[in-house]
């Protein structure tokens, strides 16, 4: 059988759709079917015989629900007819066909046919004593029912007059029969492994067989699995299902033993019947959906045609599933409706429109109009609702909605009129659940969506701390507030100990003592009572907002043990009362000493505070967090950008945030309050839900003269805040006892930490992080910081940072391994790693590599660092410690080899992001990232962080970017795409040979927004890069960013000869005043027009055309000149004997730059000469 013929069948089949539309899907799969055998369709329901569980099952396509139509719910076998479906019993029902206004079922184990009404009633039985294990059924145009009577080896007919006759016999357990065209009756002669054709004459009661012929399968009844152009050469294996489709398709066969669906069809080219595979693969048993040839079955049996949805249903017996061969693309399930609150909006032109604010659970303090938004008005949406019982939420108590339930009023987001309320004020309950579902004929119903609605009186708000007069209000209109003074909870009935707050909310307790505890609660009909609010006036037993030096445990907690010379970092935290909002905040921080000698005192110039309060910003659906620094903003002319003030005499640091609700100067107060979010590390503290905030960290340097007898009291003083930024005070306590302390004692001691071990995280000081293991999470933490360091508020000189800084100082703490030839050698890498005990203050790929090797290689030496308390102190020490990962020792993880050429110059790499000019909006662009490597060493270990930045108002990148690495490196070890338009990668165990010379690192793949205009442009920023030949040595580097433009930007919009491309690349916009031709953005004395012509960076003062170094070397007395070059620029070296001479002589010409340092040697022959480097235009 040729593939070409198969494609023609698919394209031309009478029931098939377009080739690409044909596929196999699962309609329903559940163990509740228990070996289904037959399937039939009536209306929008599918009926299935569940043979083992002895019942008939109905699957409703509208609601995607299944129910027992008839038969024992316990699966009991028997023989019982009844008008009550639950009483009916079957014994292994098999075949089923829709006819006679119901379903005719072959009750195989009872050896009869039974008519099942669509309501489940069974009253009629046929063929008692005449049938033996009847299986497959079909019906002809006259209403005659054809029976595959397996036990009798015959095909029989139940005529319309309810008599039964034999049409043909001599078969071997036939399991399926199908009525074709022109008097054809097809038989699956199951045990003979063939398909036979009965040609009949007559119609109605006069139907009779004229011939019986084997048309497909081996006439010798040989079993197997093979198709053939000549049907008698084909092989079948126990076929048990037939379906006549007709047209070019012919007969579908469920070749059960071969696990496939096949067809038998008239092949005009051969003048006979041929066979062909339709779906599945011979002998491959599985449950796989997809294209026909990729689909898999487990014993397919019965089939039927579902005309309404243009699909063939197949009973997949061993998978307990009903599968479909779709002939058109399937209509997708209906999208779940949304339940929510109706919101009134006004557009900029004053027009009113209404939208839905969807929720899954929401508590309202006032009556709100609820509604349902469906996929479209073409679907029907129904809902049910009911109260939450005293025992708690039980969704089963509220029925799922269906066509017999209440339709939801139509509502479309953006419509100009409010919809009718889903549930009126008279019907609401304090706490209830709404269920909704959308239905449309011919499609799978939506999921049932659930929303919990709670109407609850708003908590009373007590304003004032004087019991003589204070005000109590609730945000719930019409609520009555009651309070007690004897400690009992209020009720909503006034009495001697239960008082109603007067209208207006003012309460006067002039007859009460100063210390009194009050409890308040708000009530409203059909609402839950508010929470009981307790307020203590002038007493010591109160609950208040607290500011402290860290939490009692977990993240943002510290053991407060420091060492001489250490930059110590103390958390400053807030523990908040529920619903507390803070818009402005201030406090003071103090540190003193108790060592007894002034020489041990903390130097006030070392005091510092780092804010960790954050503003949440959404970018392309991703939450990002921007640190809010202490700041005061009033007007552009009256603005304190940094609100830190130090009183050096008192070792006092004063910190504050001053902002008013409704403004957005230092953060957006409309979207959040000041302490809504804080981010000291990975976890984002959400104050509104956690009642915690990490305000920041208080830093000071411990004197190097401190001894173990020294200690340093720290103290938070005078905290205060407002919840409106104007006048409403928020009281903040400074506790001195308990787990939260605003006064602590920092003691002096040694707390070692394992290099590379940074998690779990408590705080940034030694002793506050790590678990003495170097694991994958530790490596990923270092990778995260190296890639996205600007996200974190980690002090770069903290012990936590140092624990990730694994490389590259030796055990003596003196030699930087970058000065050692072994540092870049292919040999002795292990020796170098085992000797590296200190970091270099920078997180780069060598830190990741050393941590990676130590984490996995049990042969590598580990180190712990600590601040010593004994002299000499004031500097971290390192000591070798046990490699204690729970594994066995083994060989090195990788072997690197390359030729070391130390004479080839200093290892250097220039990384360039390519340009993509005139890209199309909505297109996907591939941006080459290349490396030019010099120094004779390959680039093999590297870390790369890229970001695509929208420029000049271009729409931001929404789709995630990806990276296709070159074969020289292979796939990266680590990849992170946490930010839209950005990606970070690290190669720590490269599979390729590495990059030498000029080569491709890979391609950054970016999908440009479809809405990008012609003036849109995107910068491709190399945010971070570090590379190494062996994981330890580091290449010096130069980074060149790329640009994607949507039109030709080579011209100058200002007519000054500087292309727009250059301004966009270096200044992100054409409107930046620093991009003017005469401006000097980096202050190096070279204006932009000269920077452009020289190919230098106008934002980097070190990037300029100048002789960077000149040195007389002992190599023949040569004078060596070096200067930085720009790629493809040409230079000339000139010399003169006098600096003011007008007679400069060329000593070297047409020197082409390559982006690296260029070198020129000259022998001045004992005479004085001056040299200059000039750019050739």
Of 1043, 1017, 1025, nearest to 985 by C-alpha is 1025
CA distance 901 to 934: 10
Instruction: Please indicate, yes or no, whether residues 549 and 635 belong to a single structural domain of this protein.
Output: yes
pLDDT over 60 at 463, yes or no: yes
**Domain closes at, from 455, 485, 514:** 455
Going by pLDDT thresholds of 50, 70 and 90, the confidence category of residue 657 is very high
pLDDT value at residue 1006: 95
CA distance 697 to 653: 12
pLDDT value at residue 43: 82
Tell how strand 290-291 and strand 431-439 pair up.
unpaired
Q: Which residues pair with 622 in a beta bridge?
A: 619
Instruction: Please indicate, yes or no, whether residues 1012 and 934 belong to a single structural domain of this protein.
Output: yes
Q: Is residue 1150 part of a domain?
A: yes
Q: Is residue 241 part of a domain?
A: yes
Please tell me the total number of residues recorded for the chain in this structure.
1177
Residue 869 sits at φ, ψ, to 5 deg, of -100, -10
What is the rounded (10 degree) CA torsion for 114, 118, 120, 125? -20
- DSSP helix/strand/coil, 842: coil
- DSSP helix/strand/coil, 87: coil
Residue pair 752/853 in contact (Cβ under 8 Å)? The answer is no
CA distance 443 to 435: 20
Sheet holding 692-701: strands in order across?
608-611, 692-701, 567-575, 545-548, 732-733
CA distance 828 to 851: 17
* Angle at which helices 845-856 and 776-788 cross, to 10°: 180
pLDDT over 90 at 78, yes or no: yes
DSSP state of 787: H
Instruction: Please indicate, yes or no, whether residues 854 and 867 belong to a single structural domain of this protein.
Output: yes
Q: Is residue 675 part of a domain?
A: yes
Q: Is residue 983 part of a domain?
A: yes
Provide the sign of the torsion angle of the four alpha carbons 519, 520, 526, 528, taken in this order: negative
pLDDT digits (tens, 9 = 90+) for 1027-1045: 888 777 778 888 889 999 9
**Domain closes at, from 502, 537, 572:** 537
SS3 content of the chain, % helix, strand, coil (to 5): 10, 40, 50
pLDDT value at residue 258: 96
Instruction: Please indicate, yes or no, whether residues 100 and 243 belong to a single structural domain of this protein.
Output: yes
Provide the sign of the torsion angle of the four alpha carbons 1029, 1034, 1040, 1042, taken in this order: positive
CATH number of the domain where residue 74 is located:
2.120.10.30
CATH number of the domain where residue 505 is located:
2.60.40
CA 110 to mean position of chain CA atoms: 56
Of 62, 29, 70, 67, nearest to 43 by C-alpha is 62
CA distance 49 to 57: 6
Q: Is residue 799 part of a domain?
A: no
Residues 6+ apart with CB under 8 A from 128: 111, 112
Locate 1051 and state its tokens: 């011209």
CA distance 931 to 124: 83
Provide the sign of the torsion angle of the four alpha carbons 685, 687, 692, 697, taken in this order: positive
Instruction: Please indicate, yes or no, whether residues 192 and 261 belong to a single structural domain of this protein.
Output: yes
pLDDT value at residue 823: 57
pLDDT value at residue 594: 67
Instruction: Please indicate, yes or no, whether residues 863 and 714 belong to a single structural domain of this protein.
Output: no
Instruction: Please indicate, yes or no, whether residues 814 and 950 belong to a single structural domain of this protein.
Output: no
pLDDT digits (tens, 9 = 90+) for 426-457: 888 899 999 999 988 767 788 999 999 999 99
Instruction: Please indicate, yes or no, whether residues 690 and 629 belong to a single structural domain of this protein.
Output: yes
pLDDT value at residue 508: 64
pLDDT digits (tens, 9 = 90+) for 1094-1148: 888 888 887 777 775 555 544 455 677 777 787 778 888 888 888 778 888 888 8
pLDDT value at residue 30: 74
Instruction: Please indicate, yes or no, whether residues 605 and 507 belong to a single structural domain of this protein.
Output: no
Instruction: Please indicate, yes or no, whether residues 744 and 764 belong to a single structural domain of this protein.
Output: no
pLDDT over 90 at 139, yes or no: yes
DSSP state of 258: G
Q: Is residue 667 part of a domain?
A: yes
pLDDT value at residue 20: 40
pLDDT value at residue 12: 32
Ranges 136-145, 733-742, 807-816, 1105-1114, most confident? 136-145
Provide the sign of the torsion angle of the four alpha carbons 356, 358, 361, 362, taken in this order: negative
Mean pLDDT, rounded, for 1081-1104: 84
Asked whether the whole model's pTM tops 0.95, one would answer no
Residue pair 323/316 in contact (Cβ under 8 Å)? The answer is yes
pLDDT digits (tens, 9 = 90+) for 552-598: 989 999 999 999 989 999 999 999 877 788 999 999 999 987 654 44
Range of the domain at 1121: 1109-1176
**Which range has the worst mean pLDDT, 31-40, 548-557, 816-825?**
816-825
CA distance 498 to 1096: 80
Q: Is residue 1098 part of a domain?
A: no
CA distance 686 to 672: 11
Locate 805 and state its tokens: 């800084």
What does the mean pLDDT of the chain come to? 85
Q: Is residue 1103 part of a domain?
A: no
CATH number of the domain where residue 1042 is located:
2.60.40.680
CA distance 911 to 1155: 10
**How many structural domains are present in the chain?**
7
**Domain closes at, from 279, 294, 326:** 326
Mean pLDDT, rounded, for 36-58: 93
pLDDT over 70 at 136, yes or no: yes
Instruction: Please indicate, yes or no, whether residues 687 and 775 belong to a single structural domain of this protein.
Output: no
Of 285, 314, 286, nearest to 302 by C-alpha is 314
pLDDT value at residue 1144: 86
Tell how strand 134-139 and strand 685-686 pair up.
unpaired
Going by pLDDT thresholds of 50, 70 and 90, the confidence category of residue 1153 is confident
Instruction: Please indicate, yes or no, whether residues 909 and 896 belong to a single structural domain of this protein.
Output: no
Of 742, 1163, 721, 787, nearest to 945 by C-alpha is 787
pLDDT value at residue 117: 95
CA distance 317 to 299: 6
């Amino acid at each position: 059988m040729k593939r070409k013929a198969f494609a023609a069948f698919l394209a031309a089949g009478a029931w098939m759709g377009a080739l690409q539309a044909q596929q196999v899907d699962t309609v329903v799969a559940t163990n509740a079917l228990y070996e289904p055998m037959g399937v039939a369709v009536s209306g929008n329901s599918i009926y299935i015989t569940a043979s083992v569980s002895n019942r008939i099952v109905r699957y409703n396509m509208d609601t995607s629900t299944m129910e027992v139509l008839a038969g024992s719910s316990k699966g009991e076998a028997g023989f019982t007819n009844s008008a009550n479906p639950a009483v009916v019993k079957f014994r292994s029902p098999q075949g089923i066909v829709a006819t006679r206004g119901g379903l005719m079922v072959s009750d195989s184990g009872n050896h009869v046919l039974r008519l099942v009404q669509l309501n489940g009633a069974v009253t009629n039985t046929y063929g008692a004593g005449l049938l033996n294990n009847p299986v497959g059924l079909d019906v002809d145009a006259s209403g005659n029912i054809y029976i595959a009577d397996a036990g009798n080896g015959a095909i029989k007919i139940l005529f319309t007059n309810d008599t039964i006759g034999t049409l043909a016999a001599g078969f071997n357990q036939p399991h399926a029969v199908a009525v074709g065209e022109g008097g054809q009756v097809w038989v699956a002669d199951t045990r003979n492994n063939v398909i036979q054709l009965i040609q009949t004459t007559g119609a109605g009661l006069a139907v009779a067989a004229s011939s019986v012929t084997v048309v497909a399968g081996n006439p010798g009844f040989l079993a197997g699995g093979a198709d053939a152009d000549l049907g008698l050469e084909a092989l079948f294996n126990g076929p048990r299902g037939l379906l006549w489709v007709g047209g070019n398709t012919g007969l579908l066969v469920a070749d059960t033993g071969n696990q496939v669906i096949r067809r038998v069809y008239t092949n005009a080219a051969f003048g006979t019947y041929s066979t062909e595979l339709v779906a599945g693969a011979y002998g491959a048993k599985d449950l796989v959906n997809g294209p026909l040839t990729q689909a898999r079955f487990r014993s397919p049996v019965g089939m039927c045609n579902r005309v309404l949805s243009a699909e063939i249903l197949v009973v997949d017996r061993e998978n307990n599933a009903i599968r479909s061969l779709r002939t058109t693309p399937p209509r997708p399930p209906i999208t779940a409706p949304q339940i929510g609150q109706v919101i009134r909006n006004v557009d900029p032109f004053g027009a009113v429109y209404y939208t839905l604010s969807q929720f899954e659970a929401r508590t309202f303090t006032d009556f709100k109009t609820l509604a349902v938004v469906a996929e479209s008005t073409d679907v029907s949406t129904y809902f049910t609702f009911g109260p939450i019982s005293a025992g708690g939420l039980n969704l089963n108590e509220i029925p799922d909605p269906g066509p017999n339930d209440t339709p939801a009023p139509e509502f479309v987001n953006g419509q100009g009129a409010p919809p009718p309320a889903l549930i009126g004020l008279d019907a609401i309950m304090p706490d209830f659940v709404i269920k909704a579902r959308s239905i449309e004929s011919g499609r799978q119903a939506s999921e049932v969506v659930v929303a919990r609605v709670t109407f609850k009186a708003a908590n009373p708000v007590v304003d004032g701390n004087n019991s003589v007069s204070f005000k109590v209000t609730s945000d719930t209109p019409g609520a009555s507030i009651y309070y007690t003074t004897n400690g009992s909870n209020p009720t909503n009935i006034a009495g001697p100990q239960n008082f109603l707050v007067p209208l207006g909310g003012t309460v006067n307790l002039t007859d009460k003592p100063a210390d009194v505890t009050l409890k308040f609660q708000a009530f409203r009909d059909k609402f839950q009572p508010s929470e009981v609010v307790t307020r203590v006036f002038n007493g010591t037993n109160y609950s208040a907002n607290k500011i402290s030096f860290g939490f009692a445990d977990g993240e943002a907690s510290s053991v407060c043990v420091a060492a001489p010379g250490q930059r110590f970092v103390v958390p400053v935290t807030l523990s908040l009362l529920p619903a507390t909002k803070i818009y402005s905040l201030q406090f003071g921080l103090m540190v003193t000493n108790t060592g007894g000698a002034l020489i041990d005192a903390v130097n006030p110039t070392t005091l510092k505070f780092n804010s960790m309060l954050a503003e949440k910003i959404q970018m392309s659906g991703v939450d990002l967090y921007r640190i809010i620094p202490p700041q005061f903003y009033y007007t552009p002319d009256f603005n304190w950008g940094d609100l830190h003030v130090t009183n050096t005499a008192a070792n006092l640091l004063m910190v504050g945030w001053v902002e008013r609700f409704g403004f957005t100067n230092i953060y957006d107060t409309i979207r959040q309050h000041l302490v809504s979010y804080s981010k000291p590390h990975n976890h984002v503290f959400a104050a509104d839900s956690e009642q915690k905030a990490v305000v920041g960290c208080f830093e000071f340097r411990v004197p190097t003269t401190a001894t173990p007898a020294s200690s340093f009291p720290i103290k938070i003083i005078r905290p205060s805040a407002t919840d409106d930024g104007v006048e409403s005070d928020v009281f903040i306590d400074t506790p001195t006892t308990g787990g939260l302390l605003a006064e602590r004692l920092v003691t002096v001691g040694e707390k070692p930490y394992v290099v590379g071990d940074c998690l779990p995280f408590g705080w940034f000081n030694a002793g506050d992080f790590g678990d003495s293991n170097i694991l994958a999470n530790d490596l990923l933490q270092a990778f995260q910081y190296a890639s996205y360091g600007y996200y974190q508020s980690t002090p770069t000189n903290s012990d936590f940072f140092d624990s990730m800084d694994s490389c590259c100082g030796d055990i003596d703490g003196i030699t930087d391994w970058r000065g050692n030839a072994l540092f870049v050698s292919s040999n002795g890498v292990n020796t170098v790693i085992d000797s590296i005990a200190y970091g270099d203050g920078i997180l780069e790929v060598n830190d990741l590599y050393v941590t990676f090797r130590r984490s996995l290689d049990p042969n590598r030496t580990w180190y712990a660092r600590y601040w010593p308390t004994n002299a000499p102190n004031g500097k971290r020490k390192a000591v070798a410690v046990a490699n204690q990962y729970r594994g066995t020792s083994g060989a090195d993880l990788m072997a690197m080899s390359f030729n070391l050429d130390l004479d080839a110059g200093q290892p250097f790499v220039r990384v360039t992001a390519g340009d993509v000019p005139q890209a199309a909006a909505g297109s996907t662009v591939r941006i080459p990232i290349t490396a030019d490597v010099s120094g004779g060493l390959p680039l093999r270990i590297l870390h790369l962080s890229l970001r695509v930045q929208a420029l000049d108002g271009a729409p931001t990148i929404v789709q995630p970017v990806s990276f296709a690495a070159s074969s020289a490196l292979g796939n990266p070890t680590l990849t992170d795409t946490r930010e839209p338009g950005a990606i970070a990668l690290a190669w720590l165990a490269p599979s390729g040979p590495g990059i030498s010379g000029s080569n491709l690192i890979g391609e950054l793949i970016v999908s440009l927004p479809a809405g990008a205009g012609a003036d849109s442009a995107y910068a491709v920023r190399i945010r971070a890069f570090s590379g190494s030949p062996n994981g330890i040595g580091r290449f010096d580097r130069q980074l060149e960013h790329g640009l994607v433009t949507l039109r030709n930007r080579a011209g100058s919009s200002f007519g000054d000869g500087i292309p727009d491309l250059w301004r966009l690349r270096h200044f992100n916009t054409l409107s930046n005043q620093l991009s003017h031709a005469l401006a000097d953005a980096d202050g190096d004395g070279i204006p932009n027009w000269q920077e452009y012509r020289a190919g230098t960076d106008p934002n980097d003062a070190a990037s300029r055309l100048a002789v960077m170094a000149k040195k007389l070397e002992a190599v023949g007395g040569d004078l060596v000149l070096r200067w930085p070059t720009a790629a493809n620029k040409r230079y000339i070296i000139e010399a003169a004997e006098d600096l003011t001479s007008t007679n400069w002589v060329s000593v070297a010409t047409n020197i082409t730059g390559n982006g690296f340092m260029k070198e020129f040697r000259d022998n001045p022959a004992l005479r004085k000469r001056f040299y200059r480097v000039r750019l050739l235009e």
